[in-house]
Amino acid sequence: MERADLIPSNAVTPASDGQRRQFLTYLARLAPGSRETMAGCLATICRGDPWAFRWQDLRREHTLVIRGWLVERYAPATAAKHLAALRGVLRESWRSGLMDGDAFARAVDLPPVKGNSARAGRALEARELAALVEHVSSDGVRGARDGALLALLYGAGLRVAEAVGLELDQVAPDLRSLTVRGKGSKLRTVWHTRGADRLLARWLSVRGAAQGPVLCRVRHERVELLPLGTQAVLERCAYLARKCALAPFTPHDLRRSFASDLIDAGADLSAVQQLLGHSKVTTTQQYDRRGERAKAAAAQRVSL
């Protein structure tokens, strides 16, 4: 399927500054950590510069073909994510007066993407977490900082963007809870798992009490009060996996492990949902990575 099959010819004409605002407004509504991802989805759809594309010129015959093109090439969850981005930017086109209500309603009236994808990510086992804690506990200043990273990603189940954006004044004096600003700028209180407060306390004793980001850079065993970026967190997780001889894991895998272990320990699903900052409990259920062990244990609860 070629580009000409996906989009109307007039949509290739560069958009004016006023028309570009629909894309900017759409991105502004998203959480900071989602903007790059959804902009990439729209770039894939238009196969060009999403800033210059005239999204308001798309009609239902175009969006139906786009949907078919995505379904042919991507897993269901990935195709659905691209369509969510498309619906979002079209909604801003309508809100901006660039697209009439009837054209918008027809363009976004698309059949849902059906099918199941293999769920991404994994949950770390207890022995893996123990190996990580043992390593960071003996690795100097950088290890103290990485211990705080584990405390936030696993011990509190934070998203990467939430962890790197956490400021010192958002940490409770007793270090047992955090006030986190999540998606949509929603505030929530998150409580640590046992032991996470010790890792956090060790790092803060090294970092000092100056206001600023909790997770800072470490250069030559010296603390620099500059925020740790998302890419740096990804690199630290890759480094820790190598040093501890573990299978690769991502920052989000630590968040999944937090949720999965809480569910395994019998925590109320609604409480886990609130800790993670999910708007829907079905999203929380997808974080359960207990797998066959959980199903086997459930089966043993009943006897014949």
Which residues are designated catalytic?
A: 159, 183, 252, 255, 278, 287
DSSP, collapsed to helix, strand or coil, labels residue 4 as: helix
226 to 2, 32, 55, 204, 223: CA distances (angstroms):
46, 18, 38, 14, 9
CB 230 within 8 A of CB 161: yes
**Rg for the chain (alpha carbons), in Å?**
23
121 class by beta-carbon count within 10 Å (0-12 exposed, 13-18 middle, 19+ buried): middle
* DSSP single-letter state for residue 188: E
CB 152 within 8 A of CB 144: no
Rounded Cα gap, residues 70 and 56, in angstroms: 20
DSSP, collapsed to helix, strand or coil, labels residue 230 as: helix
Q: How many helices (H) and strands (E) does the chain have?
A: 15, 4
Rounded Cα gap, residues 152 and 248, in angstroms: 19
The amino acid occupying position 42 is L
Shortest CA distance to 56 belongs to which of 24, 103, 126? 103
Rounded Cα gap, residues 226 and 285, in angstroms: 36
Q: Which two tokens stand for residue 27?
A: 């991105």
